[in-house]
Amino acid sequence: MHAFAKAVVLAAGLALAASSAHAVDPFFPTFGNNGIDVRNYDLDLDVAMPSSRLTAKATLDIRALEDITTFRLDLTGLTVSEVLIDGVPAVFNQRNESKLTIRPRVAIPKGKSFKAVISYAGAPKPIQDPTVPDDPSYQLGWFTYDGATYALSEPVGASTFYPSNDEPTDKATFNRIAITVPAGYTAVANGLLKSTTPLGAKTRFVWSMDEPMTTWLATVHINRFDVKVTATTTGKPLRFYSTAATPAADVASYAKSRSMIAYFETLVGPYPFDSYGSVVVDDPALYYALETQGMSTFPLGAADEGIVAHELAHQWFGNSVSVAAWADLWLAEGFATYFEVLWPNRRSPAAFDAAMRRMYDYAVDAQLGPAVVDRPEDIFSDRTYVRGALALYALQLKVGTETFFRIARTWQETYRGRNANSRQFILTAVDVSGDRTVSTLLSDWLFKAPVPPLPGGQPSAARRLGPAPKPDLVGLRCGRGSHRGAPAVCAGAAAN
Ligand code: ARG
Ligand code: ZN
């Protein structure tokens, strides 16, 4: 390692350790709460079906980041009946309809850890998606449809079903997500299935995510599922949940995650969680997939393995290594889009290059702005997905394929289970490549408006055929970026 690079990486590491984040994100300032660090969530949810009415108890292990007399959690549309702090009843209120404000009987000094047990109930409802603030058909959180339930929360929907510190840097383990449902239903959540217990007219499913997870990745699915159980090549459980309405081609596509995991492991290092799986939502209103940690969620129509590769890549990029701020979401979506293109082209570097160059031509034609975005409406835009993936491709062309994947692996090892930002990515790339000019290249891709030239790039062969068509990528389907220009099928689905 170069001495210069070593010094900057060290400095970045220290800065990270000192700040340890837990700041409310500027994109969604009404979510997240100062002064607390949640270490673990234990959720015990009893869900009546088909109403999906919830009776629940959440136990949060919290560390005080400052002296606390009162603190707040995000919770919306559910009624709290009791709060215990280290076993002692606390005063609380829900006067702010999206916050639970708690005043412990005795003040908690900075640095102390304590347990908050919150009993609550109600019929959860989704909330407005603030990335599309002017369209009430875009919602987040807990949904019910046709006698089934699913919870999808990116970026800020967690408060619809559990009291949370809903900001991206307060990662926590979820060592128990227990879901009790009427017999005949299956309940799916993140991570490992620990137990299934028949209790007369009900069944209790206990799940566990022992690696840190951001609040928006927590998921719950309740439906009449079929399951296929297998294992990764390293022996970790793989579970694929489908319904009677799920096309066989979708299920066949999920099964490819076994070989995808093995392939991605050779490139970027070990799969970061104890298990993987996928679960279908057969509500036709859902038009996107989500990388819910350890158990990706798919809409109907996931027969294209690109979408399976995309959500799987997120387990490393976005889930294990999470963004420190929503503005930097390209660190998740750019990598996921890169691997989505790489997987089907893995046996042909020429085909991969051609696909990336088509994407480049599209970026130039569309004059896509920098990968780092400055407003919440742009976090799911082409800038994040396409320009983010192209920034990585430009880096690969500059440093070579072997060094590029060394950077990706080092990024994973350095920030596993934590949060990181664009500056830290640039430092890692400079450090691993030993090439200080990589910093300029990445800064141009990430922060500056004009689409930079590709290193060593002549115009692509496809260019001679005229304007570049929109590539068929997960991030470009159904208006992920341009909701308003969404194809009719997506607009109709979203309005349901
Ligand atoms: N992270 C998801 C993916 O790329 C996209 C989520 C879109 N979310 C939304 N609320 N529109 O697979
Ligand atoms: Zn994605």
Average pLDDT over residues 42-67: 98
Q: Is 380 in the pocket of ligand 1 (CB under 6 A)?
A: yes
Best of 139, 380, 483, 490 to mutate for ligand 1, by most ligand atoms within 8 A of CB?
Answer: 380
Average pLDDT over residues 106-127: 98
Domain count, the chain: 1
Report how far residue 309's alpha carbon sits from residue 119's, in angstroms, rounded to the nearest whole number: 39
In the predicted structure, residue 22 carries a pLDDT above the cut 80: no
| 445 is a domain residue | yes
Confidence band for 491, pLDDT divided at 50, 70 and 90: very low
What are the tokens at 449?
């408006």
| 332 is a domain residue | yes
- State the distance from the centre of ligand 2 to the C-alpha of 154, rounded, in angstroms: 11
What pLDDT, on a 0 to 100 scale, did the predictor assign at position 315?
A: 98
Cis? peptide before 50, omega within 30° of 0: yes
| 387 is a domain residue | yes
In the predicted structure, residue 37 carries a pLDDT above the cut 70: yes
Confidence band for 21, pLDDT divided at 50, 70 and 90: low
What pLDDT, on a 0 to 100 scale, did the predictor assign at position 484?
A: 27
Report how far residue 298's alpha carbon sits from residue 259's, in angstroms, rounded to the nearest whole number: 18
What pLDDT, on a 0 to 100 scale, did the predictor assign at position 197?
A: 98
- Tell me the per-residue pLDDT of 71-116, one tens digit each, with 9 for 90 and over: 999 999 999 999 999 999 999 999 999 999 999 999 999 999 999 9
In the predicted structure, residue 10 carries a pLDDT above the cut 70: no
pTM of the model: 0.92
Helix or strand (DSSP H, E) at 338: helix 330-342
Confidence band for 276, pLDDT divided at 50, 70 and 90: very high
In the predicted structure, residue 376 carries a pLDDT above the cut 80: yes
| 121 is a domain residue | no
Q: Which domain holds residue 402?
A: 322-495
Average pLDDT over residues 333-356: 97
| 127 is a domain residue | no
Report how far residue 83's alpha carbon sits from residue 98's, in angstroms, rounded to the nearest whole number: 17
In the predicted structure, residue 269 carries a pLDDT above the cut 90: yes
- Tell me the per-residue pLDDT of 219-248, one tens digit each, with 9 for 90 and over: 999 999 999 999 999 999 999 999 999 999
Which distant-in-sequence residues (6+ apart) come within 8 Å of 453 by Cβ? none
| 125 is a domain residue | no
- Nearest ligand, CA 297: 1
| Closest residue by CA, ligand 1 atom 9 | 154
Which distant-in-sequence residues (6+ apart) come within 8 Å of 202 by Cβ? 46, 180, 181, 182, 183
Helix or strand (DSSP H, E) at 104: none
- Report residue 472: phi and psi, to 5°: -85, 85
Which 3 state secondary structure label does DSSP give 143?
Answer: strand
Q: List, as one string, the DSSP characters of 82-99.
A: EEEETTEE-EEE--STTE
What pLDDT, on a 0 to 100 scale, did the predictor assign at position 472?
A: 80
As a whole number, the mean pLDDT across the chain is: 92
Q: Is 154 in the pocket of ligand 1 (CB under 6 A)?
A: yes
- Return left, alpha or beta for 482; rule: phi > 0 is left, psi -120 to 50 is alpha, else beta: beta
Confidence band for 478, pLDDT divided at 50, 70 and 90: low
In the predicted structure, residue 340 carries a pLDDT above the cut 50: yes
**Per-range mean pLDDT, top range of 297-301, 483-487, 492-496:** 297-301
What are the tokens at 198?
């028949």
Report how far residue 286's alpha carbon sits from residue 12's, in angstroms, rounded to the nearest whole number: 40
What pLDDT, on a 0 to 100 scale, did the predictor assign at position 469?
A: 75
* Long-range contacts from 349-357, C-beta under 8 angstroms, 24+ separation: 354/460, 354/461, 354/462, 355/471, 356/389, 356/390, 356/393, 357/454, 357/457, 357/460, 357/461, 357/462
Which 3 state secondary structure label does DSSP give 272?
Answer: coil
What pLDDT, on a 0 to 100 scale, did the predictor assign at position 23?
A: 78
Best of 31, 480, 482 to mutate for ligand 1, by most ligand atoms within 8 A of CB?
Answer: 480
> What percent helix, strand, coil does the chain show, rounded to 5?
35, 30, 40
In 328-377, beta strands by DSSP E: none
- Report residue 100: phi and psi, to 5°: -105, 115
Average pLDDT over residues 360-373: 97
In the DSSP assignment, the letter for residue 371 is S
What pLDDT, on a 0 to 100 scale, did the predictor assign at position 458?
A: 64
| Closest residue by CA, ligand 1 atom 2 | 290
| 362 is a domain residue | yes
What pLDDT, on a 0 to 100 scale, did the predictor assign at position 112?
A: 98
- Tell me the per-residue pLDDT of 152-170, one tens digit each, with 9 for 90 and over: 999 999 999 999 999 999 9
| 86 is a domain residue | no
Q: What is the CATH number of the domain that holds 397?
A: 1.10.390.10
- Percent of the chain scored above 70 by pLDDT? 90
In 146-285, beta strands by DSSP E: 148-152, 172-182, 186-189, 192-199, 202-213, 220-223, 226-231, 237-242, 276-281
Q: Rg for the chain (alpha carbons), in Å?
A: 22
In the predicted structure, residue 31 carries a pLDDT above the cut 90: yes
In the predicted structure, residue 425 carries a pLDDT above the cut 80: yes
Confidence band for 483, pLDDT divided at 50, 70 and 90: very low
What pLDDT, on a 0 to 100 scale, did the predictor assign at position 302?
A: 92
In the predicted structure, residue 482 carries a pLDDT above the cut 50: no
Q: Is 156 in the pocket of ligand 1 (CB under 6 A)?
A: no
